[in-house]
Amino acid sequence: MKIAVIKGDGIGPEIVTEAMKVLDAAAAKYGHTFHYTQLLMGGCSIDAYGEPLTDETIAACKENDAVLMGSIGGNTTTSPWYKLPSHLRPEAGLLKLRKSLGLFANLRPCVLYPELRAACTLREDISVKGFDMLIMRELTGGLYFGERRTEAVDGVMTAVDTLTYNENEIRRIAVKAFEVAMKRRKKVTSVDKANVLDSSRLWRKVVTEVAEDYPEVTLEHALVDSTAMQIVKEPSQFDVMVTENMFGDILSDEAAMVTGSLGMLPSASLNETKFGLYEPSGGSAPDIAGKNIANPIAAILSGAMLLRYSLDLNEEADAVERAVQQVLTEGFRTADIMSEGCHQVSCSEMGTLIAQRV
């Protein structure tokens, strides 16, 4: 199996190296071979080629089964990359890559590990139940991509943003949600604002139609404002949550916050095939780059998502996730999640410990 690797900037090379270490441990245990193609994107690509993403890198990504990526970008105040025009800055490469690869479905799991319960921002009677939810956000449509304008109307400055979805865009993200739910606890919560918006009423109609093809999966519809409250009231009730672009943007940040540790969270962006881009949710943290103290767990869990969703290696993905759980249970922590009574380890040590337990 072929995996494109974009280590990126800042702590990216460090954490992706550990993710590859863990992937190789899974491959060795289960009899697979992963062939890696090392590519540049972001600031490192600007330094090498004068642009954040080359056409050659896009073509190389398409020749692989999936892309494993680190963090992109640097210090926005001091880095020379941010003196360039916006289309030549590091993050522009990521947006271009998502568009070029047709990555319309963003998957962001939010898991509260029992060992990290003290970091949860919720009351103890809520956090003690734990939670494991996955928010699936439509990534290429809706308000963020609709027609927009700002103009004077009768002498008053007026801004207009257009929220547009067609049934095909809704159907493909709904299908992804139900496919993912079949690999989890077989429940989908579709989030909308159908009491107000026409786009949400179409969303609800199409998702209901898709549900008929997945009789094993329980579907529930929820309004976005109610869902925002339920995430802080009883997050354990959610399995897979599917929603449109702006709602997903907001809810996924809320859900990430209640875990108390953004640095532990992986993500995936998928297209209409099994191809996906897998990356940690955190940033490039240039202030700690090269110090071997970054937390690689988000990158490692992104690798587990790659195994599960692009390669259909569910047993192998389970093994990686169990290994992460075991290392946390044994009390090993990187600096960002360190607590009293635990044993602090470096980035590379954490990767080795997890690989050994795979």
- Give me the architecture of the 121-256 domain, per CATH: 3-Layer(aba) Sandwich (3.40)
3-state secondary structure of 344: strand
93 against 18, higher pLDDT: 18
Task: Give the type of residue at 147.
Answer: E
Fold (CATH) for 1-105+260-358: Isopropylmalate Dehydrogenase (3.40.718)
**Does residue 169 have a pLDDT over 90?**
yes
Q: Which two tokens stand for residue 57?
A: 């890198």
For range 306-322, the mean pLDDT: 96
Q: Say whether 253 is catalytic.
A: yes
Q: What is the pLDDT of residues 253-292, one digit of tens each?
A: 898 888 877 778 899 999 988 999 999 987 899 999 999 9
3-state secondary structure of 318: helix
Q: What is the pLDDT of residues 66-100, one digit of tens each?
A: 999 999 999 988 999 999 998 899 988 888 898 89
pLDDT value of residue 282: 79
The number of beta carbons lying within 10 Å of the beta carbon of residue 293 is 19
Q: What is the pLDDT of residues 27-79, one digit of tens each?
A: 999 999 999 999 999 999 999 999 999 999 999 999 999 999 999 999 988 99
Q: Cβ neighbours of residue 167 under 8 Å, at least 6 residues apart?
A: 202, 206
Q: Where are the domains of the chain?
A: 1-105+260-358, 121-256
User: Are the C-beta atoms of residues 263 and 336 closer than 8 Å to each other?
Assistant: yes
The number of beta carbons lying within 10 Å of the beta carbon of residue 271 is 18
DSSP 43-81: HHHHHHHSSSS-HHHHHHHHTSSEEEEEE----TTT-GG
pLDDT value of residue 116: 84
Residue in 132, 249, 318, 336 annotated catalytic: 249
Residue in 193, 214, 278, 309 annotated catalytic: 193
Residue in 198, 225, 274, 291 annotated catalytic: 225
Q: Say whether 287 is catalytic.
A: no
**Does residue 248 have a pLDDT over 90?**
yes
Q: Could you check whether 1-105+260-358 and 121-256 share the same CATH topology?
A: yes
- The b-or-e profile of 319-329 (16+ CB within 10 A means b, else e) is bbbebbbebbe
Q: Say whether 198 is catalytic.
A: no
Distance of alpha carbon 79 from alpha carbon 37, whole angstroms:
27
Q: Say whether 55 is catalytic.
A: no
**Residue 132: which H helix or E strand, with range?**
strand 131-138
**Residue 273: which H helix or E strand, with range?**
none
Q: What is the mean pLDDT of the chain?
A: 94
For range 348-358, the mean pLDDT: 98
171 falls in which pLDDT band (50, 70, 90)?
very high
